[in-house]
Amino acid sequence: MELRHLRYFVTVADEGSITKAAARLNVSQPPLSRQIRDLESELGAPLFDRGAKQIVLTAAGKLFLKDARAVLARVEDGVRRVRALPTESAGELRVGYSPTPTTELLPKVLKLFRKTHPKVRVVLHDFASDEILAGLKARELDVALAVEPPLRKGGGLVFEPLQEMPIGIMVPNEHAFAQRRSVTLDEVMRQPIVAFVREGYPDYHHWLQGVVRHAKRAARIVSHVDGATSLMAAVEAGQGIAFGPPTYAMMAGKRAKYLAIKPPAPPIVVGAILRAGKASPLLQAFLQALRQSAGD
């Protein structure tokens, strides 16, 4: 259980609506609903009675709401008191990241940054891409390492590209492609495809639109999943094939076959997402470490 689960729960309870709470939190509705269900699963009790137009607290929800408010109030009070004191600490950076595309880059930058700023506390948050954007806008994150998202001009966030990653496909071991080393994009687009859900992964679908333009053929998506683990399971079960970066080859192991696409499909771009405006000296130092790590 994380503080964001408590914040989400309290906001939904205050608004009496997932839709209104999602708007207030700057997150989309499906991930918010998923976080509430995860919290209920961890507590072992339903927190809301879900009606057609409104949701209301259950008895367990009313009880937990008091404790959740108390925890958040204590945390906010502690933050205020700590910030009011002179401190000898070197600071803290809250870094969001998309796990699979950043598997190789993230350890490099953390190691390099630790050498130059050993006293800085780096707090990592493994988020879906829409949660990353919401965390940055809400100032719960300082920077994020992720795939290039579809950002609106004037939306308050900027993206700095760092690396391009080639894209291949994962296929079931029994698939006709499994005996080959590479396939063409046209061959891929004729196959049933397992894809990430749009609500949680707008960056994936932004990239997929570019692939469709490049291939001049629409993707035949037969299944949507909510995470890399589910994606792998769907491919292994034979539901379809899936696009992915080379790091998926390590993830697949012997469960599925990873193939290159030749000629190459449009790559995905990994980089830093941060709020527009002047970065703090600490954030500037982290960005420099990112640039150096990406260039190695």
Q: What ranges do the domains of the chain cover? A: 3-84, 92-164+269-295, 167-266
CATH number of 3-84: 1.10.10.10
pLDDT at 88: 45
Answer for the pair 157, 273: CB distance below 8 angstroms, yes or no.
Answer: yes
Q: Report the alpha-carbon distance of residue 259 to residue 179 in Å, rounded.
A: 10
pLDDT of residue 286: 95
Task: Pick the closest to residue 168 from 272, 255, 252, 254 (CA basis).
Answer: 252
- Region 92-164+269-295: CATH code: 3.40.190.10
Would you call 84 exposed, middle or buried from its count of C-beta atoms within 10 A (0-12, 13-18, 19+)?
Answer: exposed
Q: Please state which of the four CATH numbers 3.40.50.920, 3.30.450.20, 3.40.190.10, 3.40.640.10 is assigned to the domain occupying 167-266.
A: 3.40.190.10
Closest Cα partner for 100 from 128, 123, 124, 122? 128
Q: Which of 28, 59, 37 is nearest to 201 (CA)?
A: 28
| Model pTM score | 0.65
Residue 256 has what DSSP assignment?
Answer: E
Contact indicator for 163, 105 with CB cutoff of 8 Å: yes
Strand order in the sheet with 157-165: 121-126, 92-97, 143-147, 268-275, 157-165
**pLDDT tens per residue across all 296 residues of the chain:** 677 888 888 998 898 888 888 888 878 888 888 888 888 888 888 998 887 667 889 999 899 999 989 988 888 887 777 666 554 456 899 999 987 788 888 999 999 999 989 889 999 998 888 889 999 999 999 999 999 988 888 889 999 999 998 999 999 999 999 999 999 999 999 999 999 988 778 888 888 888 888 887 888 999 998 888 888 899 999 999 999 888 888 777 888 999 999 999 899 999 999 999 999 999 999 999 999 999 86
Q: Which residue pairs from 107-111 have beta carbons closer than 8 angstroms and sit at least 24 positions apart in sequence?
A: 108/293, 108/296, 109/145, 109/286, 109/289, 109/290, 109/293
Paired tokens of 110:
């953390």
Q: Do domains 3-84 and 167-266 have the same CATH topology?
A: no
pLDDT value of position 85:
53
- φ and ψ of 189, to 5 deg: -70, -10
- Is the peptide bond preceding residue 263 cis, with omega within 30 degrees of 0? yes
